[in-house]
Amino acid sequence: MWHAAGYSLAGLRAGWHETAFRQESMAAMVLLPISLWLGRTWVEVALLAGSVVLVMVVELLNTAVETAIDRIGPEWHDLSKRAKDMGSAAVLLSLLTCMGIWGAALFHRFA
């Protein structure tokens, strides 16, 4: 478990070098505490916080896919493009899910 934790921390450090992950991490530093205030039940807090963490998880997985594809070779290949595009689409879907959950929570709280 000690080695696994070290690998995980190394992955987070590597992710920090990616602009998108860094931006999402900074947004999470703001949104996670706000989720404690905005959510009225533990389920609402879990949905709000979980949707933010989900974006970060998907971004790390997308970066892992892109890194593995780049490791294979720099030449353009249709399957490489397809894999990278699908990773990007996964990030987009997680962001839209997060925005939908937060939008619904804000509407429910203030409307």
Catalogue the active-site residues: 59
Tokens of 47: 């949905």
- Rounded to the nearest 5 percent, the helix, strand and coil shares of the chain are 90, 0, 10
